[in-house]
Amino acid sequence: MLNGFIKSLRTPFSRFREDLFFKRIDLTKVPKHVAIIMDGNGRWAAKRGLPRLAGHRAGAEAIRRTIRAAADVGVKYLTLYAFSVENWKRPRDEVRGLMNLFEETLRKELQELHEKGIKINVIGHLEELSKSTQRCFREAMELTANNKEMILNIALNYGGRVEIADAAREIARAVRDGKMALESIKPETLADYLYTSGSPDPELLIRTSGELRVSNFLLWQIAYTELWVTAALWPDFEKADFYQAIYEFQQRKRRFGGLEAD
């Protein structure tokens, strides 16, 4: 009952914050690429005495809201950290539950995402997941392959160091096979061999739950990315938080190692 009461107060306040930040955003200067470390599902569930999976379920709702918020302001690339190569260390039941949730969420949302022109792209070692999870994501990628409104990168079985090692191996292979000169290797060469090749680097990285870490996410790509951390746990992340992050990003001075322009 208390929860219901708090929720009923929160809704008008959330709308107020949503409007407040949305109106402040300069729609001509929205970052092209936003990446998100969605953290805190487990703690959200624990605070409520619920199983961790209930937190992940609530997290899937936060994803829905966030995709909409990103589309509303015209973000072109949204990259979400859904499952890291380190997440296999979690209890087997949680991993199984998460995989089922990925499939269920994707099946439920796919048509709407497709209608909105969103292209789904998995980054990470999809081939190591179960046949059924692979099929589900491959079908989603196939269906949405020609969509142009937004690219939704889902980092699944993803690790930043694995990604860089994969790129280094491919470059070494090209050199060995005489397709690339050793002296021609530059930072841009490596970028071309990453899973995100062809996409701009994220200008903004959002992390929830207050942790100040990058957790092996897009290590190469975030060299000059602005970080924005909120104490909100991922299931509590609202459109207003997303808009706030965009607005505050727009107030920052980015120098890329140079001096501030006048």
Cβ 41 to ligand FPP, closest distance in Å? 4
Name the active-site residue from 39, 41, 157, 201. 39
Tell me how crowded residue 45 is: count the other CB atoms within 10 A of its CB: 21
Both tokens of 260, joined, read 């501030």
Question: Residue from 50, 95, 99, 101 that binds ligand FPP (CB under 6 A)?
Answer: 101
C-alpha distances (whole Å) from 9 to each of 5, 15, 47, 170 are 6, 11, 20, 54
Q: 167-176: long-range contacts (C-beta < 8 A, 24 or more apart)?
A: 167/193, 167/194, 168/193
Q: Which stretch binds ligand FPP (CB under 6 A): 12-20, 39-47, 164-172, 184-192?
A: 39-47
Active site residue 3: no
Min dist CB 104 to ligand FPP, Å, is 8
Number of residues in contact with ligand FPP under rule CB under 6 A: 19
Question: Is 87 considered catalytic here?
Answer: yes
- Whole-angstrom CA distances from 251 to 18, 29, 210, 227, 246 are 18, 11, 21, 13, 9
102 lines the binding site for ligand FPP (CB under 6 A): yes
Q: Is 97 in the site for ligand FPP (CB under 6 A)?
A: no
Contact flags string 143-172 toward ligand FPP, x per CB under 6 A: -----------x------------------
Q: How far is CA 134 from CA 19, 88, 130, 153, 240, in A?
A: 39, 16, 6, 15, 33
Residues with a known catalytic role: 39, 87
Which parts of this chain interact with ligand FPP (CB under 6 A)? 38-43, 56, 59-60, 63, 80, 82, 87, 101-102, 105-106, 154, 234
